[in-house]
A = this chain, B = another copy of it.
Amino acid sequence: MRKIAVRELSRAGRLSVVASAILVSSAAGANEDLMRVAKRIFEPIPSAAPAVRDNPITHEKVTLGKSLFFDSRLSASGVISCNTCHNLGTGGVDAGPRSIGHRWQLGSRRAPTVYNAVFNVAQFWDGRAADLKAQAAGPVQASVEMNATPDHVLKTLNSMTDYVVMFSKAFPNEVAPVTFENFAKAIEAFEATLITPAAPFDQYLEGDEYALSDQQKTGLKLFIEKGCSSCHNGINVGGQDYFRFGVVKRPAEGLLPKEDKGRFAVTKDLGDEYVFRSAPLRNVALRPPYFHSGQVWSLKQAVGVMSEVQLGAKLSDEETDEIVAFLNSLTGQLPKIEYPILPTRTIATPKPSLDK
């Protein structure tokens, strides 16, 4: 087998390597084999929000979290909300390549999608947040993003009775529920509902042989055989482990800027230089541009780059199209979201601050 991972492969990754060998050795085109192998490597998106650690999902918490997700008044300027960069109308991301934040500053990486993020092993491209509640606490404070402070967030929330009531309902056993931690937990609860089941690939994994076209099945087979699924596996078809970007060949400088060393910044381990969490590929067709640098605008081109720099493989045009067709089968059903009517600001609500 080719060497792909810089670290030990995840369980699904190891399965994928084994499965790839099985597939290659079995009769080509054996559809049942393909489905059986796929079921060992991947997992369908469930139809309901999964449980998250230390944070029971309740209707009240999700309702609160949705309001917080859309409330730009939690940013210093009053302009930027979670949804600004993780736009639920455009695949859970913004227009790219890098997000624009407070005072028109540029973020350092492409916004990751919030859809199905609950299934990732950790959050951010470098996995620096263990879960969504840890993640939610980040951008609101980042000076290039929302540029707020926990104090600003709490003053803003406490200034509006409707928010205080919503927190009381979402955290019913707490005496003083309006805390920065609960703010993050409510957002996590809402985000846990942002899952996209029933993609053609999910239907296939659940046994519907006809959910994928022949081209998509061929693409799936290639995706496994060529080694893509060694890193992109599990429920999110990625997002489960960390790998070097440029295993076989260093990508172009534009794609892998020298100054962004990825997970190295988190672990300080030299082995983690230019290592990133494998991109989760659910709904990938909905959200160009691709890679953490956001420099590739076509899915076909992205597949070409990956095969070259990660696998050292030269795919034919037809093969690339087949893999792209498979990736298109990963587009699921996005949840219907009623746009929240937010609590009305009061005289005690902090005013927007447009400067530093």
Contact = CB atoms under 8 A, between A and B. Distances in A.
Interface of A: 70-73, 77-79, 84, 87-91, 94-97, 100, 103-104, 106, 285-288, 297-298, 334, 336-342, 344-345, 347, 351-352, 354
Count this chain's copies in the assembly. 2
A145 to B, nearest CB: 13
Which 4 residue pairs spanning A and B have beta carbons closest together?
Answer: A78-B95, A104-B104, A89-B342, A337-B339
A82 to B, nearest CB: 13
Contacts of A352: 95-97
B334 A337 contact: no
Contacts of A71: 89
Contacts of A337: 338-339
B104 A78 contact: no
Nearest to A87: B72
Given A78-B96, A95-B73, A104-B103, A298 B339 contact: no
Contacts of A91: 344
Contacts of A96: 78, 352
Contacts of A72: 87, 94-95
A95 B297 CA distance: 34
Contact of A77 (B87, B100, B339, B344): B100
